[in-house]
Chains A and B, each alone.
Chain A
């Protein structure tokens, strides 16, 4: 007794048993007695040491005990001694048996039930497919004491044991993956052949009426099968000589139905796998069996791109081989012409999206197959490249993933290193999948979650230390690698067509590169190649980095509405920034910067143009938190600082305009990314324009001071009108303003007026002077007397004018007046002057109300541009911006004197106040607000998308699509966007008619 104590539990633990106490008991079990040499010291016995080398020693030990119990029965006398003998001595037989028992509880159970199969493990050797077919068909033809179905299952399992034995007892299973996968496919092929024998026997003589072939698809066709997986097939039948076609098809259908049932149904001996005929023409709705001609005519006419992708793996696997070969030969031309089909590009893009989206969300982080960086990614990339290039290059036409990948690498279609990395990852993922499936012989593609399963998996992959963690890390690393390569594998070789990537790299021909670019959605592949060439030309560090970046960026461009424009803009910016070190570093190192840039350029001509004028703004993209709009003070501080660095007024203002341009870019990107809402954007754009006007005014006044040697004769004020005053500007808004000055004490009025006029003219000139940075158009058309009146007036002159002449429309315009630049005190004085006008005591009289209504009605009929659609014009159309604004303004004019909340320059603010005060009912207020916002958003989206003002819902579908994408709608929503606008505008028009016209 004492001798046993020290061995527990340490030694067995060290050997890898997770439950050493139980292991100890089992090792001392009576049934193991014949195997153990020293029962006192089981832990150092050869058996225990051998067990320590298998994936799950505890499981293997338990299975071993059960196996020996099972052979103890007299029925097994014949081989009991041989088995015990094999297990007692170290060597291949024992290692294999233990390895199988330690890897698969299901196969362990099978051995317990059928111990006579032990030799299939101990003496396992590779078999040719013909031998497998021979063994299996013989088994079902002479089924001895069982049904043919059970005979099929037993012999299948027996051979499966052999494949598993060779697989799990190898030190480096990944290296031999292809061999295992092809053996499994051969076994499936043999099983189908044997099942067909059974089916034919059931059908009887009638079976002779039809030539019948089974075509393997998917992994079966590719000769790269899993342990447990659906076996994808297509059935072809032809009438045998002299037989009628309909009769033959009926027999074929009968055979196919039986074959499916023979393989799939569960009997006492278990089941094989599901036979899945869903890849046939018309899928589940199509007939199970077709003639060759019917297949061909289907593929000629109706098949979709993904079906050709599937056909790439077609291979005859059972039945009439000549017919099977004829089928494969007949469909091959379709497969290899698929890339030239009409909708190939769209289909491929849709398939790519589907690959990304198609992961059941709860399992995404455990999926070996469908998850990001999973097997599907590799298979998809390989197959797609085969379809694109296999047309011209026959060497690529293999159904086996690894073979095809090697051929792609050989031909230069995939970078050599990329191909190697991908192949390694593929082998790892498949090996993991195999081990997981082997464990319980279940069809699963999920990483296990329990610690013990992970541990077993880790040990199976050869990890001795911390196997649980090691295996997960290994898997995640591979998946990340696949993910990375998946994105660039399409694009990287494109560069090899135009640039030397590495000394031993095979180059993609320009022809092949153009084909691939076209397949990715580039409309002008030649142009795109030229840009690529320019970007990656030479040996500079810049070219080297671009070669790294572009493969991924090309993919992002391809996602957008206009990939060509995106790439062109990128080239311009890269040319501009040239060797600026931070530019490339930013794109390479800053995570999402390159992606944001690609999407921005592909989506927004406005942003692209801003960036071309000032490429250094690219920096904002690297700053993930940096896209919040800046405050007016912040912006103005920057503009002022920039202006101060220049002595002359014009350069100073241009410097401030550059600051504005870069802020515009920031706001554009923030809008594109949905990081800034409409209200915030309107405020920020108004502030930006206000700040520029203010700084420009400062510069001009400083110039006056320097010129005349004395302070300006007046204080100056710029009042924002319209959207500027309301703080609701859009991209591309003009600045509507009034200019006000106030002569300082002692200044002569006329001289002050003259000087003020000069100041204003200079201000307008400097803001509008042609320069790379966008100008700010200043419009003073709302001033007293309009174009006939002086550009600027003194405060007193305004006072006099408004006292004598003021018209209702002027009061209305003043509703949105707010000082935006210049002297703050003067601003306060001006506001005090206009408040009684815009919020008149007692509201409006009936005549004034009628005047406003008439004016609006006239404007509707006269101001709409020729050819514009009254229903969809954002500003002047029915339910457009001016409907909403006039409605709100009329309420303000009538009621602001008694409702302080109405005294705001913001249209949306005033509308909300009018609703709270009960001047508009809730439903109308919602309709008006919705229309105003949608029109504003669409104007912004139009400007962003096309780089110029878009005044109404575009009648060009592509333009509408571009805007819809910016507004967050899925691709192809152009028509939907138009419908949405018209609905919202109709409701708003309705409300405006009710509230404004009181109709």
Chain B
């Protein structure tokens, strides 16, 4: 007898189904077209963050331990090498600061807008998106560290991607290879080639030729679109960001051409390129602030930095 009353009546199931399905459809439309649901997503991300962290913890610990117990000798030699590179970079940095100062002086003379230096923040990759066909990762920095949606993320000196959505303590980064992602790039190698030839006209002409590097959804692979059939391009050419579109800073390496296909009769070539960032190996990335969003001009900064550096130098000399 109890069985009859206990059982979910089919009518109520159908009602619930229709209700939930229509709610889902509404939510989807809003999420696709509008930004009103961002707080909801942020809240859900925050709730699930500890869970995500807990799942990743054993794997991170394992990797940490493997790193920790790797051969001491190797570590020591690496350390020595890194120290020497560091010295090199300190010297280079010094040079950079003097150039920056000079630049500011010259810009002042020209009454130009001061160019800002770039600020960096190191972030760790927490987890990779479970969705096989998207290329997204979660990093352990978020709005609390003043990161923002659309911020550029780099790995080493290469571009990694941009921030897609953000929560207080984490952010989702869209990699260059995500199918939704595109970046405007220019060929850097071709300029070098042109420099050798004396033909100035072609050099100028080639400078403006860019391409759109669109993600393929596959690991480390980009497709370069809008490359005309008569363009000078070779396997191994390096493409750097052009800075068009105001999102990415110009001059950062993006990809190296891996294959070129051309069907006679087409107006464009099919060019594939490997990213210079190895997305399977990268564990740490840098979030950068470049002058697009750092509107608060602080002209004194490089100079004071220079003074600080000099002071540091003196103190080290005294020692």
- A in complex with B: no
Chain B residues close to A by CB (< 8 Å): none
